[in-house]
Structure 1
Amino acid sequence: MTATNTIVSNIAAIQARIAAAHYLFCPSAPQATLMAVSKTRSAKEIQLALSAGIQHIGENYLQEALAKQAELQNNAICWHFIGPVQSNKTRDIAEHFSWVHSVDRAKIISRLNDQRPSQLAPLNICLQVNINDEASKAGATIEEIPALAELVLNQPRLRLRGLMAIPANTRDPAQQRRNFAAVRELLHTLRQRFPRAQLDTLSMGMSGDMEAAIAEGATILRIGSDIFGPRAAAKPD
């Protein structure tokens, strides 16, 4: 099978899984958006995903992403930054992405707002929550999220959309659902506290747990290797 057929068929298989999970768990809800996570993948591979109907591309490494954006600039792509946000990279992120999913500090919020070009639409923000308090993972604590949400809501060039989470790795579907339910409940708390905010996004769910994420209200699924195949070695950013 050629690379083209593999990527196209992989996307079709994932879309079928998404549709089946929605039918089973939440048939009346809008179908979750499939984001292709393309870290270490080439612009050509991304182009193949676009040909299969993908519109949302997630990147973890800034310099790698900027090179791909330059190569694919004639394509209608919604670019999402999903990797750790370092202070020295906020300007390029603010200038070249439509979404940032990994915001977890007040300093980053202020810098993204100050560096977002005024001629662009507000930058869509998801706050990353470390839902299981894992020392090895980034993200704010549950207790820190409301204050960070309020800070984002007070920035004119940012738009708070919701939460992102990478829960503890488990193959137990029941535990997966409990983890994602905690994220959903936190978003519900934010909606009650900030009723005028456009809090419509739960960025959660990857290849091994997308069904559990959909069952608990995921709106954006982040899928990489199940689309593009085994991950290549990462390049320094």
Structure 2
Amino acid sequence: MTNIADNLKAIHQDIINACNNANRSSATVSLLAVSKTKPISLIQQAYDAGQRHFGENYVQETVDKVQQLAHLTDITWHFIGPIQSNKTRLIAENVAWVHSIDRLKTAKRLNEQRDSNIIPLNVCLQVNISGEESKSGATIDEIAELAEFINNCANLTLRGLMAIPAKGNDETTRQSFRKMQTLFNQLQHQYPSVDTLSMGMSNDMNIAIDCGSSMIRVGTAIFGARD
């Protein structure tokens, strides 16, 4: 049986070690538990062990989990998967964060569909940093226009950038993360609300943290392999 509390403790220690190696405070890196395909019971275990931020990839699964765990009022839901135009309303109505905006059309719909009576939706722009044709994400050249648009949206708050680099060796991964760090620093200089660089998973979190990541996304190492 997966011991989620022990897994979380081990990952937090890994974050501390990586931050020490990078001469950073571990307080500058947060953990997003990727709970896609995992049952409510395991999410509850992670919550009981102190985890509060959870990431989901599929819209209907996200909505179902948000509703079933609505009694946990301090849980924070992040949508990190591809966004279909016909699903933006469900996203706008149910989560606190979206990490995967890569088109103006998507940002416009989310802004229009977010209830103005609740806090604005926190937004990270997904960057296709490796230029893969098969992968979602805006190009580096498209980020400036996207960021400016979102910064002027009443119901969205621009928080930062997210990326999933192409699989490769440590050096190519580091190069991609350094590009992200440069882009993030430029965006942060321009927009005071920008504070989140969402990059790095269990297999490359050390490199990501060394390159300035402020949020790592971990699934299997917390919840175990997918069924």
- Counterpart selection for 1:169 from 159, 162, 167: 167
* CA distance 1:190–1:27, shift in 2 (3 Å): closer
- 1:235 — aligned with what? none
Q: CA deviation at 1:184?
A: 0.8
- 1:160 — aligned with what? 158
**What is the DSSP-based 3-state SS (H/G/I as helix, E as strand, rest coil) of the residue aligned with 1:17?**
helix
Q: CA deviation at 1:197?
A: 3.1
- Counterpart CA distance in 1 for 2:109 and 2:144 is 19
Identity %: 49
Deviations along 1:185-216, one digit per CA (max 9) or x if unpaired, are 01122234x2x431111000001000000001
- 2:217 — aligned with what? 222
Deviations along 1:58-115, one digit per CA (max 9) or x if unpaired, are 0001111111111111112110000011111111101111000000000000000000
**Once superposed, which parts of structure 1, at least 4 consecutive aligned residues long, lie more than 4 Å away?**
none
- 2:177 — aligned with what? 180
- 1:130 — aligned with what? 128
- 1:145 — aligned with what? 143
Cα pair 1:153 1:197 within 8 Å, conserved: no
Structure 1 residue 69 and structure 2 residue 66: aligned? yes
With normalisation by structure 1, the TM-score equals 0.92
Structure 1 residue 53 and structure 2 residue 53: aligned? no
Deviates more, 1:221-230 or 1:19-28: 19-28
Deviations along 1:139-175, one digit per CA (max 9) or x if unpaired, are 00001110011110111110000000000112x3333
Deviates more, 1:217-226 or 1:28-37: 28-37
Tell me the matched-pair count.
226
- Counterpart CA distance in 2 for 1:122 and 1:98 is 8
Could you list the runs of 5+ residues in structure 2 that have no partner in the other structure? Answer: none
- Counterpart CA distance in 2 for 1:141 and 1:125 is 17
Letter in 1 for 2:188: R
**What is the DSSP-based 3-state SS (H/G/I as helix, E as strand, rest coil) of the residue aligned with 2:141?**
coil
Q: Counterparts of 1:91-106 in structure 2 under 5 Å?
A: 91-106=89-104
Could you list the runs of 5+ residues in structure 1 that have no partner in the other structure? Answer: 233-237
**What is the DSSP-based 3-state SS (H/G/I as helix, E as strand, rest coil) of the residue aligned with 1:226?**
helix
- 2:188 — aligned with what? 191
What's the C-alpha RMSD, in Å, of the aligned pairs?
Answer: 1.2
With normalisation by structure 2, the TM-score equals 0.96
- Counterpart selection for 2:78 from 72, 80, 91: 80
Q: CA deviation at 1:119?
A: 1.2
